[in-house]
Amino acid sequence: MAGLLSGIVDKFLHRRSLRRWGLAGEAANSADLDALRGMRSRARALRRNLDRVIHVADYRLALPVIGSNIIRKPLGTDWSWRPELWKGSLPVPGMASVPGKAEVFAGTTIFHDCRRSELTARQIRNAREADIAPFGFRMDVFRFDGSFLSLVLDLPEDAARGLKQKHVIRMDVIVEMEKPLEIFARLNIKHGPNVEQIVRELPLNEEEVMVEFDLAYSKMNEKRVERLWIDLIFEGPEMNQIILRDVTFSRRPRAEL
């Protein structure tokens, strides 16, 4: 009952406020200058609060919905994952002059060896119809005097649990660039004291940008797998803007012949 009454009062006050400011708008043309200054001051204070509400509402209500974890999965998938960077908002959405080792989010790190960093990184809100991840990640690279730039993604423990050589690990990426460059994905599998590495180049000229790592060709010890991580390596990134709209991973057993 109290909630219903509060709603009725809110609607009444809202209509009254709209009517009041409607009359103020009509009176502004004929009001004396002192009265007009007071009206302008009150209107500006009101506008600041209204703009804040509209900004936050547009951000939270835009599609895809924040926290959405819809992932396209191949048939037979037994594990899938989207890193948090593309799923939830960061406390600090961006950084400038990114240092040589910079943790963007837990488990997501930028590495480079530039003497002078002219790299900025920022989480952005996806709003295109084609996007299914709530957020994207943008890197703006200006002068680049280093030899490498990479984004390292630590895969969760579930990725290593039950991992066999019969598995295929797939990475799907939605990427945009100002000008063409090469991007390589390197899967690292730590098993005991050794690290198995498989490198694939992303087919950026194809409609579906994805790579698959077939573990049948690896020499990993299934009984000693500890953890997995991916290096996304950007070749010749100078004077470029790179936007990763989405990055997802999935794992499935290879079809038996």
> Using an 8 Å Cβ cutoff, are 120 and 55 in contact?
no
How far is the C-alpha of 155 from the C-alpha of 83, rounded, in Å? 8
pLDDT score, position 131: 79
CA 189 → CA 106, 130, 202, 212, distances in Å? 19, 32, 19, 14
Within 8 A by CB and 6+ apart from 11, the residues are none
How far is the C-alpha of 246 from the C-alpha of 172, rounded, in Å? 8
Query: Of 38 and 120, which is predicted with more confidence?
Result: 120
DSSP string, 62-102: SSSPTT-------TT-SEEE--GGGTS--SS-EESS--SEE
User: Which range is most confident: 43-47, 57-61, 178-182?
Assistant: 178-182
pLDDT band at 205 (very low <50, low <70, confident <90, very high): confident
pLDDT score, position 149: 96
pLDDT score, position 126: 87
Q: Which amino acid is at 174?
A: I
Packing angle of the helix pair 33-61, 2-27 (nearest 10 deg): 130
DSSP H or E stretch at residue 7:
helix 2-27
* Residue 180: strand, helix, or coil: coil
Strands (E), the chain: 79-81, 94-95, 101-105, 108-112, 119-125, 135-141, 149-154, 167-177, 182-191, 194-201, 210-214, 225-235, 240-253
Going from N- to C-terminal start, the domains of the chain cover: 2-61, 79-253
Fold of 79-253: Jelly Rolls (2.60.120)
pLDDT band at 1 (very low <50, low <70, confident <90, very high): low
Lowest mean pLDDT among 9-18, 85-94, 172-181, 241-250: 9-18
How far is the C-alpha of 35 from the C-alpha of 104, rounded, in Å? 51
The whole-model pTM stands at: 0.75
Mean residue pLDDT of the chain comes to: 86
CA 40 → CA 16, 45, 63, 128, 179, distances in Å? 19, 9, 35, 37, 47
How far is the C-alpha of 215 from the C-alpha of 202, rounded, in Å? 18
How far is the C-alpha of 255 from the C-alpha of 206, rounded, in Å? 24
Total residue count of the chain as it appears in this document: 257
